Amino acid sequence: MTTIAAATVLSTVAACGGSDDSGGASGGGGGENEASDIGVTETSIKLGGHYPLTGVAAPGYSEIPTGLDAYFTCLNQEGGVYDREIEWIFRDDAYNPTQTSQVTNELVLEDEIFAMVSGLGTPTHSAVVDFLNDEGVPDLFVSSGSLLWGDNPEEYPMSFGWQTDYMSEGKIIGEYIAENFPDAQVGLFLQDDDFGEDGEAGIRQYIDDQIVAAERYTPGNTNVGPQIAALQAAGADFVVGFNVPSYTALSQLTALQLGYDPQWFYSNVGSDPTLVGGLLNRFSEGQVSDAALLDGALTTGYLPTVDMTDNPWIQEFQRIWDECGGEGELTNYRVYGMAQAYTVTQALQAAGQNPTREGLVEAIEQVGSEWEGPVFAPFRYSEDSHMGTSGMTIERIVGNGSEEVQPVRVTDIGDAPIEEFDGEPATPPANAIPDEEAVN
């Protein structure tokens, strides 16, 4: 079992307005720091996360915790959150649910973290969501769009989603296909778990009568020849994939071998062209050298990406990576981690000077829907919903970047309508530290 503990960093932010210094949604500060709950001392807060640092899902995903680490490190240099040090501990689960359970037990029972942050993966985090809620551990901003983390706060009161959920993404994709490709014969390429199921449920709301086949793969089984051949045989000339990046590469290589050339649409999870290009090169042993096979493929977006060099958030995140990051370049996965760290900071600010686990959850429910940040659309946090951001763009992949073909549309799960988002993009505050008045 591999264990990686990121460098301990300070994260203090000046007191949020209000007089309640005992923690909770009112914020507050100015009193003395206290050891207010498990994982919180007068000088530190301990947070933990699980990621595939090794194994089939490691490419890309292993970079997310380094983005959080870089953000927290730079936040330290700017003064912090209530003069408390954050110990950011992340461990390797190799995208294996059994190992996820093992490392989560260590983080909760041995390391005694205050909260789980950014735990990655639908099949992996599903293995620990009951344990975290039974133990009363805040389970913040899961790195997965499954409905499980946000749809039922009564069953999972400690868990919160963060990214756009897969059902809402499927609805936005389905609406786009219905309006722009009404004659397409659509095939679905789906991961065989909640990821694929939620995406399929959303897309079928809009184009059920256009879908000619739905093929599923099991994570870990790298032979997708039968699935891609079945889509081809069904006459699918438009294929939507709800899959992780390695299976984007595998589907592209298999289609190339079969001489199959549909219009591709990959969900946001599997569409990073730089990562997929590297996987294509590796899987093909150099016969395919880059992401050119993805040119023209469609995808979705809910965060700015590294190719958007004029975007003020990307400029700030590039500065943070240059000043406080580790080896390698700024990637979209590190941007994802930094954006999550920004939301974590908002939550800690809102929880008050001496936070408790229950107070942290209460703070997110009461004011989280008002937070602005790098994500394109509002969060849906309330007592009745722990769902993350609510909208996405549609983009076309070009080279190692993308171009917008439809602006942000917002929706919710179930039969909620899809609407145009009429808000303005948020501007980063000074040094990309959340504005405490906007948090509370």
- Tens-digit pLDDT profile for residues 220-252: 899 999 999 999 999 999 999 999 999 999 999
Whether 260 is in a domain gets the answer yes
Q: In angstroms, how far apart are the furthest CA atoms of the chain?
A: 69
Domain's final residue, options 266, 301, 336: 301
Same domain for 148 and 186? no
Q: Over 60: is that where the pLDDT of 4 sits?
A: no
How many domains does the chain contain in total?
2
**Does the pLDDT value for residue 14 go beyond 60?**
no
Average pLDDT, the chain: 91
pTM confidence score = 0.90
Q: Output the CA–CA distances (angstroms, integers) from residue 280 to 248, 249, 251, 261, 363, in the order listed.
A: 9, 5, 10, 16, 44
**Residue 175 structural domain:** 166-301
Say what percent of the chain tops pLDDT 90. 82
Pairing of strands 419-420, 401-410: antiparallel
pLDDT tops 50 at residue 199: yes
Q: Final residue of a domain: which of 301, 326, 353?
A: 301
Q: Note whether 154 and 29 are same-domain residues.
A: yes
Report the CATH number that the domain containing residue 7 is assigned in CATH. Answer: 3.40.50.2300
Does some domain include residue 13? yes
Residue 204, CA atoms < 13 Å, CB-side half-sphere: 12
Final residue belonging to a domain, choices 369, 389, 409: 389
The set of residues, in sequence order, having a beta carbon less than 8 Å from that of 183 and lying 6+ positions away, is none
The verdict on 14 and 118 lying in the same domain is: yes
Residues 176 and 248 in one domain: yes
Other residues' Cβ atoms within 10 Å of the Cβ of residue 98 = 10
Residue 408 lies in a domain: no
User: In which band, very low, low, confident or very high, does the pLDDT at 12 lie, cut at 50, 70 and 90?
Assistant: very low
pLDDT tens digits for 27-40?
A: 455 689 998 999 99
pLDDT one-digit tens code per residue, 330-369: 999 999 999 999 999 999 999 999 999 999 999 999 999 9
In a domain, 396, yes or no: no
Distance, CA of 236 to CA of 188 (rounded, Å): 9
